[in-house]
Amino acid sequence: MTELKNDRYLRALAKEPVDVTPVWMMRQAGRYLPEYKATRAEAGDFMSLCKNAELACEVTLQPLRRFDLDAAILFSDILTIPDAMGLGLYFEAGEGPRFKNPITRIEDVKQLPHPDPEGELQYVMNAVRTIRKGLDGAVPLIGFSGSPWTLATYMVEGGSSKAFTKIKKMAFAEPQTLHLLLDKVADSVISYLNAQIKAGAQSVMIFDTWGGVLSPRDYQLFSLQYMHKIVDGLIRENEGRKVPVTLFTKNGGMWLEAIADTGCDAVGLDWTIDIADAKARVGDRVALQGNMDPSMLYAPAPRIEEEVQHILAGFGEGSGHVFNLGHGIHLDVPPENAGVFVEAVHKYSAKYHR
């Protein structure tokens, strides 16, 4: 494999010295870029874009041509696993992802297959291989999956939800059904992420988008224990280098210590927690990723720079910080504002790494 020209991101996750704080953005390949919109139009629709390795590679590389980012992230979707399990993923205009065959009873769960990462999900692995080749060692490639709890919310609700009544009804009235589902999904995530690593992903991230809708006890029971199982089951070294794992629970700031206890290498932070507090609580055990409010990218350039400096000062000196937004970049953010953000991280972080 090609030698990495820029390994700041991997070094920061290992808490090794870096010259400046590395930075990338969740959803950095996406709808805020006009070139992405053109490529998606060429593909026809979102899933066709995901399933075309050459076009998925193109949109993964697009933000790297604009910005001095320190990592690329696989262009895909968190719902690839449920789709491969036969739930019939489709996208409703204005409503987001939907499933034709949602999970409603334990018999549905028992019939779920274990998707083959090089079978039904081979298009994802083909994208990973194509992107690694296209990157040519410029920066590391991040693979990812949704968390079992987050995937299960879509599988049971049938799509996006605000109240999560169906899955919470299952959690509290039929917990054995939900635990069987979560266990099956966790096993599928392990094989899926390990296949991404074998195909060339140099780091992996688990997105627990909806873990924050749970109570503390239920978060441990229905979300964290299954992410812990995944961390335990992952390939942690490949191509002669450690493969770091980042766990990100949106609205999970109250559970940082428990997340760090899973054995992950980094904890992702949303913008609702002060990074100085997070570092004081868990920074000696794990690296931290985050955590500027994505809406800050609507601000004028001086305000964006000010916020970057505030977060850098909060983390302070030394390695172990990967700068990111606290969630994905919004689709109507001006691309030039994203450029201001990336440049500011490198410009203002150097003094913390002497």
Residues annotated as catalytic are 27, 31, 40, 77, 154
Instruction: Confirm whether residue 66 is marked as ligand binding.
Output: no
Instruction: Confirm whether residue 29 is marked as ligand binding.
Output: yes
HSE toward the beta carbon, residue 125, CA cutoff 13 A = 18
- Render 169-230 in DSSP notation, one character per residue: HHHHH-HHHHHHHHHHHHHHHHHHHHHHHHHT-SEEEEEETTGGGS-HHHHIIIIIHHHHHH
Q: How far apart are CA 255 and CA 247, in angstroms?
A: 12
CB atoms within 10 A of CB 218: 17
* Tokens linked to 204: 């992996």
Q: How far apart are CA 311 and CA 128, in angstroms?
A: 32
CB atoms within 10 A of CB 336: 11
| 313 CA to centre of own chain | 25
Instruction: Confirm whether residue 134 is marked as ligand binding.
Output: no
C-alpha distances (whole Å) from 187 to each of 152, 153, 273 are 13, 17, 31
Q: How far apart are CA 251 and CA 272, in angstroms?
A: 7
The three-point CA angle 76-78-84 to 5° equals 90
Instruction: Confirm whether residue 38 is marked as ligand binding.
Output: no
Burial of residue 40 (CB within 10 Å: 0-12, 13-18, 19+) is middle
- Render 171-185 in DSSP notation, one character per residue: HHH-HHHHHHHHHHH
Instruction: Confirm whether residue 28 is marked as ligand binding.
Output: yes
Residue tagged 């504002």 (tokens): 337
105: which DSSP letter?
A: S
Instruction: Confirm whether residue 27 is marked as ligand binding.
Output: yes
Residues 322, 203 contacting (CB under 8 angstroms): no
Instruction: Confirm whether residue 105 is marked as ligand binding.
Output: no
Strand-pair partners of 92: 96
Binding residues for substrate: 27-31, 77, 154, 209, 327
